[in-house]
Chains A and B, each alone.
Chain A
Amino acid sequence: DAGVIQSPRHEVTEMGQEVTLRCKPISGHDYLFWYRQTMMRGLELLIYFNNNVPIDDSGMPEDRFSAKMPNASFSTLKIQPSEPRDSAVYFCASSLARVVTITDTQYFGPGTRLTVL
């Protein structure tokens, strides 16, 4: 398997523009997670899905952020409108179980580095 795939790897946009980040989880994984990494806050969980259904979005910072999972092999994280403080690395991860256990773990994609000017 190719692992978790994210696109684009880098995104530079101007404030006010819409940004869409994409993720393809590992085939067969039931859980998908979106994280954001910043220098100030480290790795934060934004939202996670189980079987394409959003379960917990309490980490989504504002209404400007939205995430969808239309099918088991694709998810998007959208920011509209984007602001400079949204600049960060956004990671997608998938797993068979909701959390790392002795027998399973979360597998991360390479991330999308977002810069909002």
Chain B
Amino acid sequence: DQQVKQNSPSLSVQEGRISILNCDYTNSMFDYFLWYKKYPAEGPTFLISISSIKDKNEDGRFTVFLNKSAKHLSLHIVPSQPGDSAVYFCAASAANAGNMLTFGGGTRLMVKP
């Protein structure tokens, strides 16, 4: 059973608009959440993270929101740019599980010019 789920396999957004990527998790012991970005033929690269003691973390155009009661997090990209087109992976870790990363299935974002 997948503990981290990204229910939207793909998302298409117009340049300049907001992109919202969603992620749900089931393990209440997860206490650290991350987003990775992956371009074709490259490995995933770390984008932004959030600790469970926070509900928001912002870095430039990227903001991650965490709703612990709903076991839901989201990544907002504003404004979206064509260069943001990639696959985005949500990941989570739990200190009591050795801090291993559990990844979601990924969402392919396409930003149209």
Please list the residues of chain A having a beta carbon within 8 angstroms of any beta carbon in chain B: 4, 9, 35, 41-45, 48, 56, 91, 93, 98-102, 105-111
Contact = CB atoms under 8 A, between A and B. Distances in A.
A39 B56 CA distance: 30
Interface of B: 2, 6, 32, 34, 36, 41-46, 49, 51, 89, 91, 93, 98-106
A97 B8 CA distance: 31
A42 B108 CA distance: 12
B106 A100 contact: no
A108 B44 contact: yes
A100 B89 contact: no
Contacts of A45: 100-102
Given A56-B98, A108-B44, A111-B43, A99 B103 contact: no
A113 to B, nearest CB: 9
B11 to A, nearest CB: 16
Contact of A98 (B34, B98, B103, B106): B98
A110 B41 CA distance: 6
B43 A42 contact: no
A102 B46 CA distance: 11
A43 B106 contact: yes
